[in-house]
Structure 1
Amino acid sequence: MAPEQQHTVGDELARFLRARRTQTSPQSVGLTPGYGVRRTPGLRREELATLAGVSIDYYTRLERGKETRPGPGVVDALARALHLDDDEHHHLRELAVRASRFAPEPPPPPSRTVRPHLKLLLETVRPNPAYIVSRSMDLLAWNPAGLALYAGMDDWPLARRNLARYIVLHPVARELFPDWDVQVRGCVARLRTEAGLNPDAPDLAGLVGELLLKSPDFARLWERYDVIGRKKIQKTVHHPKVGVLTLSSQSMNLEGTPGQRLGVYTAEPGTPDHDAMLLLDLTAPADSARRDAVTAD
């Protein structure tokens, strides 16, 4: 990684620390806020440095991006002082590792080509909605229900079919997801995690720039620098064609194709949710979905 790129990753480490510090109240870490108005939201730098057992000068250099090689002990101490959860702690460790790494050239972007056996897998799991996405959440391949689940996505050209773009910008998304604000927070946190570890990646930078420009909600959440792990969740949608259905979702990294993830939705057989899922698969435009999945590589 070139020196200027190393500095960029160091900046991401600094931004994350600053965001977490300013969102951590003194009371939450056992400090008495004292009298008067605090000019700084959250903890002061000197308070966090003291809690973590590092010098104020060293922490200030970390937060200004001038120190990019904190050891594991310092990283763990900062995580404890900030009461980071497991996902945030892991992200801080990853940022510290990336910031201290030096390589002659940046890594190549991950492949967007979906291997044939993975396309076959998408067909095999029908009627369960399933798709494969890139690290920037571009749809790379899908089965009919996987595309149809996101109502109105098929109206967009292939190059615009992206889950984050859909949830943040598509007019149908707010009606589709009763917990739209939760869905948006998850998208922002996932992109924040990826962009923090790959700050110069054009695919991530382009998408984030577009969403920052077009969505005040996205911009506000982006500044918070929340990160989140990927967990098994249930998702309820109010679908215009099949009604309300609640599906369990699971996503996983694909072996041998870095940067690609498989997402699959399931429902218990014999339930109304499963019946609605069957109807979604039966009414999806299967031919165009298969054609698009091949072309989207």
Structure 2
Amino acid sequence: MDDLASFLRTRRRRVNPTSVGICVDNRRRVEGLRREEVAHLSGVSVDYYVRLEQGRATQPSEQVLDALARVFDLDETEREHLHRLTRRPRRRAKAPGGRVRPELLRVLDMVTHAPALIMNHRLDVLAANRLAGLLLGRPIPGLNTARHIFLDEAERGLYADWETCTLDVVGHLRLAAGKYPEDPGLASLIGELAMGSERFRRLWARAEVRARTHGRKAYQHPLVGLLELHQENFALPDESGMELLVLSALAGSPAEDGLRLLASLGTDSGDVHPTMNARLS
């Protein structure tokens, strides 16, 4: 699903030669840096770097990785991903299960004024509170937000910043693929998205990685209009691969009024109690 060679190739092509002190002219036809330029800037032989990009050298030293990260101007998330791709643990990482503890469901039940959900590394929604169910407007069991965003065109309008959402989803799945390369469920999901979405295929080929922990999230809800919310992601303990996501509205904002209206509308059409999916393996 992911490998060191493809990551290096995409990072090399992303670098502007002038940003690392290389003069270029109109005759240059190479996108980004040449392999020999990367080798020179990182202090390794051209032959060794070529073998890295061809997948024939898979365990470079920490010093080489740090040098490549510097040349490619990788951010912290990308640096961690690069190092993870070269690690070969004695036992392959097992994909986390999908069982949500009852105590976490009680926490969701306590969050009454903001949509809140629990998701796994595949972006399956494992549980959600009442307001999150009303926001998403569909049953929680079986919901995968990657499929929802890329494959369900009828629901695309719900995401006011759809293009940004697609970048976040692909970046997250890239990170997950690096952490759990032997997860068949994740491989199947990525294949399904690639088959069904041309945009997913293009973004996946860029090998971008993202770890979004907080930020703006805007929804264009069909009943209450635009909801500009703030998303906070909380990684759950015990290496479960799960995250708690809470979408809050600024006090006194139109979004707060919108959530209040959404909650009141929900009481007329049936409650959406915190729901836990069946075990996902």
Determine if contact 1:126/1:281 at 8 Å carries over to the other structure.
no
Amino acid at match of 2:231: S
Structure 2 contact 94–180 (Cα < 8 Å) conserved: no
Residues 252-267 of structure 1 mapped to structure 2, 5 A cutoff: 252-256=234-238, 258-267=240-249
Pairwise CA RMSD: 2.1
- Structure 2 contact 84–178 (Cα < 8 Å) conserved: no
Q: Which runs of structure 2 are paired with 1:160-239 in the superposition (5 Å)?
A: 161-239=143-221
Amino acid at match of 1:20: R
Query: Is structure 2 residue 72 aligned with structure 1 residue 65?
Result: no
Asked if structure 1 preserves the Cα contact closer than 8 Å seen for 2:20 and 2:71, the reply is yes
SS of 1:91's partner is helix
Q: Which has the larger displacement, 54-63 or 129-138?
A: 54-63
Q: Which residues in structure 2 correspond to 1:49-198 (within 5 Å)? A: 49-96=39-86, 98=87, 101-103=88-90, 105-151=91-137, 153-154=138-139, 158-159=141-142, 161-198=143-180
Contact 1:167 1:184 in 2 (8 A): yes
Q: 1:294 to 1:180 in 2, by over 3 A?
A: closer
Does the residue aligned with 2:113 lie in a helix, a strand or coil? coil
1:280 is displaced (CA, Å) by 2.2
1:217 deviation in Å? 0.4
Aligned position for 1:30? 21
Checking the alignment, whether the CA contact within 8 Å between 1:58 and 1:67 is kept in structure 2 is yes
Q: Secondary structure at the match of 2:160?
A: coil
Superposed displacement of residue 34, structure 1: 4.1
Measured against aligned partners, the alpha-carbon deviations of 1:91-144 in whole angstroms (never above 9, x if no partner) come to: 212222x2xx241x4233202000001001111011210010110000101111
User: SS of the residue aligned with 2:175?
Assistant: helix
Among 273, 278, 281, which residue is 1:290 paired with? Answer: 273
Which residue is equivalent to 1:46? 36
Amino acid at match of 1:95: L
* Structure 2: runs of 5 or more not aligned: none
What letter is aligned with 2:24? Answer: P
How many angstroms does 1:257 deviate by? 5.0
SS of residue paired to 1:290: coil
- 1: CA distance, partners of 2:69 / 2:38: 10
- TM-score, normalised relative to structure 2: 0.91
Write 1 or 2 for the structure with the bigger share of helix: 1
Distance 1:287 1:62 in 2: 57
Contact 2:93 2:182 in 1 (8 A): no
Q: Which amino acid aligns with 1:261?
A: E
The 5-angstrom pairing of residues 236-275 of structure 1 reads 236-256=218-238, 258-275=240-257
User: Match of 2:227, SS?
Assistant: strand
> Could you tell me whether the CA contact under 8 Å between 2:93 and 2:179 is conserved in 1?
no
Look up the SS of the partner of 1:114 in the other structure. coil
Which stretch of the first structure deviates more once superposed, 168-177 or 17-26?
Answer: 168-177
| Residues 173 and 20 (structure 1), Cα distance of their counterparts in 2 relative to 1, 3 Å cut | farther
Instruction: Report sequence identity in percent.
Output: 40
- Residue pair 1:29, 1:83 contacting (<8 A) in 2 also: no
